[in-house]
Amino acid sequence: MKKENLLHIFSHMPELETERVLLRAMRVSDAPDMFEYAKNPEVTQYLLWRPHTDVGYTRSYLEYLGGRYRVGGCYEWAVVHKGERRMIGTCGFARIDTAHNCAELGYVLSPAYHGQGLMHEAAARVLRFGFRVLGLHRIEARYMLGNEASRHVMERLGMQFEGVKRQSMLVKGAYRDIVTYAILSNEFQDE
């Protein structure tokens, strides 16, 4: 895929849908919903970012993302619970490498919605978009060792374990082991 095509697609962020979730661009009006989970140290324990300190910080972050959306530089969707009509997390591509037709999947979900299969549903839809619309060949995902919930999502998506990079990232003052899973386009099966 050419970078220009990628920028065009994501400058008009497509909406994706599943039975229970809507995936759409994040909005400044999502700040209260995002802050509700982003302030929680349990949520950020295995993430690169620290808990949000106040809703104003969250609002500023979403304003920043609005600019990234306008130029096609943000590949992440808000995960909106259809029944509750509220943002409960994010899911999308942390990066896309157009030269090699590969991407890295990333996601976060409010703890209030853990164990319901919602992130699997959202991530499977994002994988489908990546393989069927973007024409990606490979999608990988990484997690910090110890984040069993994230590992479970990856395995349920059909991703395969590829290895552990020992103490490869300095996160919040500690070196962390990073585990990689991946799936290829010919391995992906629509559910």
41 found inside a domain: yes
123 found inside a domain: yes
The confidence score (pLDDT) of residue 14 equals: 96
What is the mean pLDDT of the segment spanning 64-91?
96
The confidence score (pLDDT) of residue 191 equals: 62
How would residue 18 be classed by pLDDT, with cut points 50, 70 and 90? very high
pLDDT of 137 strictly over 90: yes
φ and ψ of 50, to 5 deg? -90, 165
| Range of lowest pLDDT (26-30, 90-94, 167-171) | 167-171
Stretch (H or E) spanning 76:
strand 76-81
pLDDT of 190 strictly over 80: no
pLDDT of 48 strictly over 90: no
User: What pTM does this model have?
Assistant: 0.94
**What is the overall mean pLDDT for the chain?**
94
89 found inside a domain: yes
Integer Cα distance of 16 and 122 in angstroms: 9
In the block, residue with structure tokens 């991530």: 123
pLDDT of 108 strictly over 90: yes
Within 31-187, where are the H helices?
31-38, 41-44, 55-70, 118-128, 148-156
Q: pLDDT digit string (tens) for 172-183?
A: 989 999 999 999
Q: What is the DSSP string of 49-60?
A: SPPP-SHHHHHH
pLDDT of 47 strictly over 80: no
CB-based contact 135:101 (threshold 8 Å): yes
The token pair that represents 15 in the structure block:
């909406």
66 found inside a domain: yes
Q: pLDDT digit string (tens) for 77-88?
A: 999 999 999 999
The CATH number of the domain holding residue 119 is 3.40.630.30
**In Å, how far are 43, 57, 107, 175 from 171, measured between CA atoms?**
15, 21, 17, 6
155 found inside a domain: no
The confidence score (pLDDT) of residue 46 equals: 75
Total of domains in the chain: 1
63 found inside a domain: yes
The four Cα atoms 39, 25, 147, 149 give a dihedral, to 10 degrees, of 110
70 found inside a domain: yes
The confidence score (pLDDT) of residue 50 equals: 87
Residue 63 structural domain = 3-137
Integer Cα distance of 87 and 32 in angstroms: 9
142 found inside a domain: no
